Every structure is written in C-alpha cells, then in structure tokens.
Amino acid sequence: MKDTSKTLRIVGAVVIGTVLTALAYYLMLPAINIYNTGFWSFLILVLCFYGLPLGVVSGFSRVGNGKAKVSGKIKLNKVFLILLAIPVAVLIVGGVVSSTFFNAKKYAAVIDVQQADFSEDMPEADVVTNISLMDTDSASILGNRELGALSDVVSQYNVSIDYNQINYRGTPKKVANLEYVDFFRWLNNSSNGVPGYVMVDPVGNDADYVKFEKPMIYVDSAFFGEDLMRKLRFSYPTKIFSYVNFEVDDAGNPYYIVSCMKPRVGLFGAMDVSEVIIFNPCDGTSEIYSVENSPSWIDNAYDGTLACEKYDWYGTLSRGFWNSVIGKRDCKMTTQGYGYIVRGDDVWYYTGVTSVTSDESNIGFIISNARTGEYKYYPVIGAEEYSAMGAAQGEVQEKGYVASFPSLINVEGEATYIMVLKDENGLVKLYALVNVENYSIVATGDSQATAKKAYLDELAKRGVIDEEELPTPETKTAEITVAAVRLATVGGETVVYITAEDGTVYRGSLAADESLILVTEGMTLTVEYSDTDHERICAIVGWSEKKE
C-alpha cells in the first residue's frame, strides 16, 4: 500500500507538472533555443513544476487512515537541486562571458561604418519629400481622426499605436493596422477579421483609411489560435523573435515583417538580426529569409533603437572596455532619438553622433539602412539635435509649440536641420529650419517652401551665402475660375485660400498682398504661382482679374 501511495503521488506530480508546463508554454511562448535567455528561464520554471512536487516526497509520511501528511521538515531532492543549478549557471556564466568586459572589440566589430561625403550623398532639393518629419504621436492623431469618421468600424476597432515607417511607392509613409478593441469585440468579429489599416502621409500631413481585399486574421489583438505571436511561435518554435513590424507592399497587401535574432558574441551577447520572416496575416502563410537575401520591398528588418545601440558599441568599445570607462579616448555615441530618410527603395535611420565627453554638439551623424543594416558616417560638426529643437521652439516661444526630432538636409551647401513644430494637441503648425553650424540661424514657415525661403533670406542676411546666389523660385501661370474663397489664421498670419473649379488651391498671405481680400467666388483670375510641398496647394506670387 505504501509503494502504491508513493507511486500515485509521483504520477500526480508528473501530470500536474506537464499540465502547468503546457499552459506556461502556451502563455509565455519562449523560443526553444539555447541562445535565448528566455529559454533558460523557462527551463527553470519547468523544473520547478516537476521538481518541487517530486522533491518533497521524502517529507510525506503515511498515517493510520491511509492519508498522507507532511512530517517534519520538507527536504529538497539533491537531484532536483543539481538540475536546477544547471540553467541558473548557464544564465550567469553565459551572461558574464558574453559581456562587453571580455569582448569589447568583438562588440565594436559587429558593424562596419563607411565615411561618406555629405554634399554628394545629400543633394539639395526644392521640397523635401523623402523625410518623415511627423512623429508617431502626430500620426496617431491623424489616424484616429480618420477612423473616427467611419461609423461602421470605429465601434469595433482601434488604430494600433505602433505606426511603422515604410517606403511606399518611393515616398515615406507611416502605417498602422486596425486592432480589436477588446476580447468581446474579437469574439464578435473574429469571423470577419481586421478589415483595414491607416496610412499617414508625414510630408503632406494627412491620413487615409485603406480597406483590405482580404481581412487580416492573425493579429496582435486577437486571442488563442489567432494571436499573431502564438501563430508565429508554433510555426517557428526555435526562432528568437524580436521586432514585429506591420508593412504593406506597393500593391497594398499587408504583411508582418518579423526579425529573428542570434548572438554575435558568446552565448547571449550582441544580439543582432540574422533572418526575417515575411508573414501573411490574411492566410497565416510565411517565408523566412536571411537578411542578405531578403526582398528589397521590405523596409524594417532592423529597429532604430538597435541601429543606434550597435553604433554605440562601435563608437565606445573600439579601443577596449577600460578605455570606454576611464580614458574614453576617441569614444563617441549617438544622440538620443532618431529620424527617418527614404533613399532609393529603402528606409534609413538618421541620428547625430557626439563625443561622450561633450554632449552639447555633434561631431557628425550616421544613417543606417533599416533593411540591410548598412551604415554611413558624415563628419558634419555643429549643434546636436536637441539644441536645434530648442532654438526652433524659441523662435515661436509665445505659441508654446513643440519640435519634432529633426532630420538633416542640404540647403545651398549648408547642413541644415529640418523639423515640424506641433501645438499642444500634436497637430503640425509650422516647419522650421535650423543651421547646424550656427543654430542661432532659424527660420519658420507654414509650409516647407515658405520656411526655406525665410531660411535662405536669413543666410543671406548673416553673410553665410551671397544674396546674388539666392535661387529664384520657379513660377508658373494659370487661368482659373474661383469656386470658393476662405480665410484662415496660420501661425498668427491671415491666409487666403482660393479654390479653383478644378480643385487646385491657391494660397496667399493677406499681409503680403492685401488686394487678395477682393477675390470673390465666380471671378476669373490669371494667377502667377509657385509649387509647394502639398501636391494640390500652390503659393500665389501675383494675380490679376481677367476682364471680359
């Protein structure tokens, strides 16, 4: 009877351990991979599920009525303790031997940085269309506003807070898929799936809701078998997932781009992207590629935070660990934050580089390819980004606007920060340009074109460029019939918007041309204008009424 009771207790402990292990795996979804610290932590948990019930058997004794009770002190089995010590030792020893203390130069060698020429790689453009000046908070405001106008979806879905930067048909866009509001909304709508996504134009400051031809089934906000990470884990049990980014291809088809990691140093050190999974959330199919062979249309294999971290390894550890702590000779690191630039078919991260001994100025900046991991360094000395942001905010301090993280452009050979200024509601109000070398040179405007003109005038006034070298804006002429006229206050200035019958809008400052107040609906005008950064909005240079 005694042996039978002990056997039953052991069988019961094994059953309980198995059930708890299966439940923990279903909820935690660890990668079954020795290079994953989460795997070893999960193994400790599994050993506890099995070992604790089995290890206290010796602490039970049998009493007269056949029931078991705890007698004396519970004793842990030595075998259990030895097994438990193995994953604990792996985590501790693996972490130490993979650390920067022992492997500083290996960390520094993870990336190769090529020095490039700023003026050659960053040609000047009249209007910046390849830089995302809008941050995620502003994109969320536009996206939520767009969704709010759709009564058939707004009650069942939210817009995801994870807006991802992509290159869509050669221009920067921010995209975020819809997600279920809660469990019950998923329960009611799981058969229909997620119907669409929001695409925000960070240059034109507008948003569109796009409906899928086929709805997405496997998403982050779903539950059980339709949960995205659960579907991925059961398909790839050994892969170490890191970043999961929603993207659409040029045809508008949705995909999740899943970055898979592996250590570049030791057992756990210098985790870097090695493969990407292209997952179709509509049907659950997927393909896996090495980073080198990944399709060119994907944009986000590497995360911006990882891109900055890898450069920091390179910049601080190239001369060894102790130099990074004590001497700090030639140590440099990225500034906090990063922006985006679209070049060719790829998205690149941008951030400044500063000496670790002085954080008040930049010694250059880097761009890093979000798909391939390539790095380029530009030795441009000047103000760091947050000083430039402060200078731009100070230019309109009475309005209380907040600057976005800037990017770098070429204006008449001058390295220049460009950014947007937002109001307290996160809406873009002004554009700002700040000279990198001298951040007291600041100009703002309600569009890129007006801000750039003001900036060029300021450069000429300060003697940075010759006034005779100021570019003359290209002007065009159109004959229009006025369909509507309205006034608006932009940045404290009254602006006249004249809408032509073909839908084109012509914008002019009332302060610059008071006669614009005479324009009324139905008039036929000859308008001299220049293009702006908005496709359907033109800047009025001059006008006259056409007499019959």
486-515: pLDDT as tens digits: 988 765 678 889 999 888 999 888 877 888
Residues 495 and 402 both lie in one domain: no
- Does 198 lie in the same domain as 161? yes
Q: In this structure, are residues 430 and 454 in contact, taking their beta carbons and an 8 Å threshold?
A: no
114 found inside a domain: no
What pLDDT score does 29 carry? 97
pLDDT band at 259 (very low <50, low <70, confident <90, very high): very high
Statement to judge: residues 211 and 257 lie in one domain: yes
Reported as a single tens digit per residue, the pLDDT across 392-451 is: 999 998 888 999 999 888 888 889 999 999 988 888 888 999 999 999 999 998 778 778
Higher pLDDT, 181 or 151: 181
Q: In which band, very low, low, confident or very high, does the pLDDT at 64 lie, cut at 50, 70 and 90?
A: very low
- Whether 146 and 260 share a structural domain: yes
Q: What is the pLDDT of residues 157-169, one digit of tens each?
A: 999 999 999 999 8
Structure tokens at 56: 């206290």
Q: Which residues of 460-487 are buried (b: 16+ CB within 10 A; e: fewer)?
A: beeebbeeeeeeeeeeeeeebebeebee
Q: What is the pLDDT of residue 80?
A: 80
Whether residue 236 sits in one domain with residue 271: yes
Query: Does 200 reside within a domain?
Result: yes
**Strand, helix or coil at 438?**
coil
DSSP 208-270: EEEEEEEEE-SBTT--GGGBHHHHHHHH-TT-EEEEEEEEE-TT--EEEEEEEEEEEETTTEE
Q: Which residues contact 75 (CB under 8 A, 6 or more apart)?
A: 55, 56, 58, 59
Domain presence at residue 172: yes
Please say whether the dihedral angle defined by the alpha carbons of residues 313, 319, 321 and 326, taken in this order, is positive or negative.
Answer: negative
Domain at 541, CATH number:
2.40.50
Tokens found for residue 436: 């990198």
User: Is 545 a residue whose pLDDT tops 80?
Assistant: yes
pLDDT reported for residue 63 = 46
Same domain flag for 141 and 260: yes
Domain check: are 150 and 292 in the same one? yes
Domain limit, last residue, from 301, 328, 343: 301
CB 473 within 8 A of CB 450: no
Q: Are 302 and 325 in contact (CB under 8 A)?
A: no
Q: Is residue 443 one of the residues assigned to a domain?
A: yes
Q: Among 301, 332, 358, identify where a domain stops.
A: 301
Residue found by looking up tokens 């500083």 in the block? 104
Residue 62: per-residue pLDDT: 47
Asked if 354 and 333 count as a contact pair (C-beta separation under 8 A), the reply is: yes
Q: Which of 206-210, 459-463, 472-476 comes out lowest in average pLDDT? A: 472-476
**Confidence class for position 52, pLDDT limits 50, 70, 90:** confident
pLDDT of residue 57: 46
Q: Are residues 514 and 392 in the same domain?
A: no
> Is 10 among the domain residues?
yes
Q: Tell the residue number behind the tokens 């756990």, with chain if given.
A: 268
pLDDT band, residue 72 (cuts 50/70/90): very low
Q: Report pLDDT for 292.
A: 93
- Judgement on whether residues 143 and 257 belong to the same structural domain of the protein: yes
- Quote the crossing angle between the two packed helices 304-317 and 100-108, to the nearest 10°: 100
Question: What pLDDT does residue 126 have?
Answer: 63
- pTM of structure: 0.83
Structural Rg of the chain based on CA atoms: 30
520 is a domain residue: yes
What pLDDT was estimated at residue 69?
A: 53
Task: Name the domain boundary from 301, 335, 351.
Answer: 301
Is residue 156 domain-resident?
A: yes
Residues 138-149 have a mean pLDDT of: 84
Q: Is the dihedral of CA 351, 356, 360, 361 positive or negative?
A: negative
| pLDDT tens digit sequence for 325-377 | 998 999 999 998 899 988 888 999 999 999 988 667 899 999 999 999 999 99
Task: Please check whether residues 393 and 439 belong to one and the same domain.
Answer: yes
Shared-domain flag, residues 217 and 280? yes
Tell me, rounded to whole angstroms, the distance of Cα 534 from its chain centroid: 24
What does the block give as tokens for 70? 């705890």
Q: Which residues contact 502 (CB under 8 A, 6 or more apart)?
A: 480
Q: Are residues 212 and 85 in the same domain?
A: no
Query: What pLDDT is stored for residue 290 in this prediction?
Result: 96
- The range of the structural domain enclosing residue 442 comes to 385-469
Question: pLDDT at position 10, please?
Answer: 79
pLDDT at 60: 45
How many independent structural domains does the chain possess? 4
Choice between 36 and 139, residue whose per-residue pLDDT is larger: 36
For the stretch 106-141, pLDDT in tens is 999 999 999 999 888 887 766 677 777 788 888 888
Residue 270 falls inside a structural domain: yes
Distance CA 365, CA 342 (A): 16
